[in-house]
Amino acid sequence: MSLLESREVSKLYQMGSTSVTALDNVSLKVNEGEFVAIQGTSGSGKSTLLNIVGGLDHPTSGEVFFNARPLGPFSKREMARYRRYSVGMIFQNFNLIPTMNAQENVGLALAFGGLRGTQRNNKASELLNRVGLADRLTHRPGELSGGEQQRVAIARALANNPKVLLADEPTGNLDSTRAHELLELLRRMASSDALTILMVTHDRELATSFADRIIQMKDGAVVDEG
Amino acid sequence: MNFFDILQLAFRNLRQAKLRALLTTMGVVVGVAVIVTMVSFGLGLQQNMLARFGALDLFNEITVFGRSLTNLATAGFDRQTGRTNEGGERRGPRLKPDKNPTRILDDAAIAEIAKIPGVAYIQPTISLYVYTRANGHVRFEPAAGASVPNGSSRFKTFLAGGMISSADADEAVVTDSFTEDFGFENPADAVGQTIEFLAPPTNTNEKSKSEPSQAAEEGPANFFGIPLDEQDTTDASQTDLVARTFRIVGVLDLHLKDGPGQGGMVGLLPGAAIYVPVRAARQWALEHRGPMSQVALALARQSGSLNGSEAEGYDAAVIRVSDPVALTDVRKRLTDLGFGSFSIVDQIEQIKTVFLIIDSALGLLGGISLLVASFGIANTMIMSILERTREIGIMKAIGAEDREIKLIFFFEAAVIGACGGVIGVLAGWGMTALANRLAYRFILKPQGASFIDFFSLPPWLSASAIAFALVVSILAALYPAARAARIDPVRALRHD
Ligand SMILES: Nc1ncnc2c1ncn2[C@@H]1O[C@H](COP(=O)(O)OP(=O)(O)O)[C@@H](O)[C@H]1O
Ligand SMILES: [Mg+2]
């Protein structure tokens, strides 16, 4: 059974009199434990799809299912809970809070998960330890390299033990060596945590070397489900 | 995310823009300080005034009125709003009863009133003007009856001597101004001296017929001297007038009283220059009534309102209640018994209303400055939302609920409000203290007056000023918080 499924998901943006179709009847399934890459040119709707699957955005039509449950009827609060506990997201530009150090960034996600005090700090350093940043706990994003920042983002995404990691061009700002290292880390964590990964990338080489399956997108539609 | 986490985040955000937070807080500080200063000034004004009233026995006294002689005289005739009956024999503030009394305030009524629960004592009011001779001077002086013993604060401070020893003693207490008027160098010189009350010779004769025992008792030789000295006209014209003598036993100290007590207004008992025992004063008033009063008495007897030998009652009496709280109940009983009454407390209620209006107006001024501060808070919040859009988007992406986003902003505002409130109260307190020092140093001290606290800053005022600042701040954050919660995370996270 598939953990994630999108069924005829469309997203339209109204721009004055014209409308832009960012997603056009996208249907796909991702099984539990799979490492799936979505590949396509810029503007093909990859980020839009990922945001909808991650509960940050709503489709204009169609439905997303998580564990066979449709996200559509979720209240705002349930949607927040879904983002908090069920999925973790990482982004091309890391999206860390610049005024917080590594431990605080991870700790913020843990705080939303209800952990406090030393328990929270311990869990944060444990997570950072797992991504190889045990000696960077008190560094702020500005004091970390791109690869290190993305690893902090991974630690934060996994803070509340989600089943799915959604990654939007996670290596977009990294050189190829760092990119390989990062994906190596992701694959290791995925296998140890039984994590399902849906990763957007425009890099075909990376996708083929790490993903179990590659979904091809073009102009908002899936052209090849891999 | 619990209370503490949110508070921590709020503090962190405020620290991020220290100067801005500080300036925003300053707005609240000023607003609260203005409120506190203004209202505590109003309260201080009220407190100082009420404290003086309280010290002067104006809170626990009632004047009770009986049916007046005029009223008795005109009963059965067309009711006319008659002028007072005693032909200028009364003195002191004209206190009006709340309703027209229907009963005569005689000794029996006095005894009855004394038994009302809550009544500590009652003393009839007798005020007269008498030609008085003492120390070789003659003056037309106000005199009054005083109960003996007397618990009123009027008879507490004596410059010399003390209170009249018993209800039947031919003793008098005079005021300090009396001793000056009669040429005594020191108040103490007056103690032991005699006061002579003068009356027309005919009256004296009548009196000696009707009540020889009373007058003869203490009356000096001139009484028996009347027939003896008949030939000595000059001497007779002098001595014949003397109707009654009293020995001065005490001189009251009314000089230092200032404020509402000025002029000897202590309690509701009308002031006078000479106080003699009630019985003596009453006797004098009945025996030496003015012609108009005699007409009224005759009319009253004719109309049957008064029996042949019956005397009219007292005009009024002053009641002291044991507890100001009992005052209203006692007054109700008096009304039930058919007497009219008056108390300052009614006026105090009105004064309090006036002060409430003053305090509100002053508070409103402060409220306006706090309103201005609230715009500052809203502005700061909106600015910080614009700066923190991405941060809010991130928080939403990692699972923050709208409620939590809102709470962060509310807490930020609350921190500003609470800090501003506390500092504002301290600043207000400091300002009032400074103003007090300055007023003392430059106004009171040069006049030789003692220190007065013009302000009253009760704990409830501090607490409510802080609470008000808190509420206003949170209200100011209402819109910014809602706006922050509405931020679309996709838009906020889109890379620049
Ligand atoms: N808020 C928006 N308003 C209008 N058009 C948008 C908006 N967001 C995305 N689009 C359009 O949707 C299409 C898909 O965008 P996106 O999902 O970001 O592509 P990708 O991530 O594959 O580069 C693009 O043509 C983009 O211009
Ligand atoms: Mg994209």
Q: Tell me how many domains chain B contains.
A: 2
pLDDT tens for each residue of B73-109: 665 554 334 333 333 334 444 566 666 777 888 888 8
CA distance B374 to chain A (A): 27
Same domain flag for B28 and B48: yes
Contact B332, B116 (CB under 8 A): no
pLDDT tens for each residue of B359-381: 888 888 888 988 988 998 999 88
pLDDT at B224 over 60: no
The CA-based dihedral angle spanning residues A114, A116, A119, A120, taken in that order and rounded to the nearest 10 degrees: 80
Same domain flag for B88 and B104: yes
- Among B275, B310, B343, residue at a domain's last position: B343
Q: What is the pLDDT of residue B221?
A: 44
* Phi/psi at A65 (5° precision): -115, 135
For CA atoms B429, B431, B435, B441, the dihedral sign is positive
Same domain flag for B189 and B263: yes
Cis previous bond, B480, omega within 30:
no
Q: Would you place residue B202 in the very low, low, confident or very high pLDDT band (cuts 50, 70, 90)?
A: low
To test the contact with chain A by mutation, choose from B398, B406, B407, B494 the residue with the greatest count of A C-beta atoms within 10 A, namely: B398
Rounded CA-CA distance B401/A70 in Å is 20
Q: What is the pLDDT of residue A74?
A: 95
Same domain flag for B335 and B360: no
Same domain flag for B307 and B437: no
Contact B240, B230 (CB under 8 A): no
Q: Provide the ipTM.
A: 0.95
Measured CA angle at B31 (ends B28, B35), to 5 deg:
135
- Among B285, B309, B343, residue at a domain's last position: B343
**Structural domain containing residue A29:** 2-98+146-224
Of the partner residues B1, B397, B402, the one whose CB lies closest to the CB of residue A111:
B1
Same domain flag for B331 and B358: no
Tokens at A30, concatenated: 């991702």
Single-letter amino acid code for the residue at B174: V
Spell out the per-residue pLDDT of chain A, length 226, in tens.
789 999 999 999 998 899 999 999 999 999 999 999 999 999 999 999 999 999 999 999 999 999 999 999 999 999 999 999 999 999 999 999 999 999 999 999 999 999 988 999 999 999 999 999 999 999 999 999 999 999 999 999 999 999 999 999 999 999 999 999 999 999 998 888 889 999 999 888 999 999 999 999 999 999 988 7
Instruction: Please name which of B340, B425, B317, B433 lies closest in space to residue B103, comparing C-alpha atoms.
Output: B340
Same domain flag for B300 and B369: no
| Residue of minimum CA distance from atom 24 in ligand 1 | A43
pLDDT at B206 over 60: no
Same domain flag for B304 and B453: no
Interchain proximity A80–B16, CB inside 8 Å? no
Instruction: Please name which of B150, B148, B132 lies closest in space to residue B140, comparing C-alpha atoms.
Output: B132
Query: Strand (E) positions, A81-207?
Result: 87-91, 164-168, 196-201
Interchain proximity B402–A160, CB inside 8 Å? no
pTM confidence score: 0.70
Interchain proximity B398–A83, CB inside 8 Å? yes
Among A23, A48, A91, name the best residue to mutate to test ligand 1's pocket (greatest count of ligand atoms within 8 A of Cβ): A48
Of the partner residues B2, B398, B495, the one whose CB lies closest to the CB of residue A116:
B2
**Structural domain containing residue B294:** 60-343
In a domain, A106, yes or no: no
Q: What is the pLDDT of residue B89?
A: 38
Interchain proximity A89–B397, CB inside 8 Å? yes
Dist. CA A69 → ligand 2 center (Å): 26
Same domain flag for B246 and B361: no
B45 CB near a chain A CB, below 8 Å? no
Measured from the Cα of A50, ligand 1's closest atom is 17
* B198 contacts: CB under 8 Å, gap ≥ 6: B130, B131, B132, B133, B138, B241, B242, B243
Same domain flag for B239 and B256: yes
Instruction: Please name which of B263, B269, B267 lies closest in space to residue B316, comparing C-alpha atoms.
Output: B269
| Residue of minimum CA distance from atom 13 in ligand 1 | A22
Identify the nearest ligand to the CA of A170 by its number.
2
Identify the nearest ligand to the CA of A41 by its number.
1
Q: What is the pLDDT of residue B285?
A: 84
- The CATH number linked to A205 is 3.40.50.300
Rounded CA-CA distance A120/B404 in Å is 18
Same domain flag for B168 and B128: yes
User: What is the arithmetic mean of pLDDT over B139-161?
Assistant: 83
Q: Tell me how many domains chain A contains.
A: 1
Q: What is the pLDDT of residue B180?
A: 86
Q: What is the CA radius of gyration of chain A?
A: 17
Q: What is the pLDDT of residue B460?
A: 93
Rounded CA-CA distance B409/B108 in Å is 75
Interchain proximity A108–B391, CB inside 8 Å? no
User: What is the arithmetic mean of pLDDT over B181-187?
Assistant: 87
Rounded CA-CA distance B38/B358 in Å is 10
Say how many residues make up chain B: 496
Contact A115, A150 (CB under 8 A): no
- Among B293, B322, B343, residue at a domain's last position: B343
Q: Would you place residue B210 in the very low, low, confident or very high pLDDT band (cuts 50, 70, 90)?
A: very low
Tally of helices (H runs) and strands (E runs) in chain B: 19, 11
Cβ–Cβ contacts within 10 Å for residue B31, how many?
A: 28
* A219 contacts: CB under 8 Å, gap ≥ 6: A21, A24, A44, A45
Of the partner residues A76, A92, A112, the one whose CB lies closest to the CB of residue B398:
A112
Contact B363, B38 (CB under 8 A): yes
Rounded CA-CA distance B399/A109 in Å is 7
Same domain flag for B180 and B246: yes
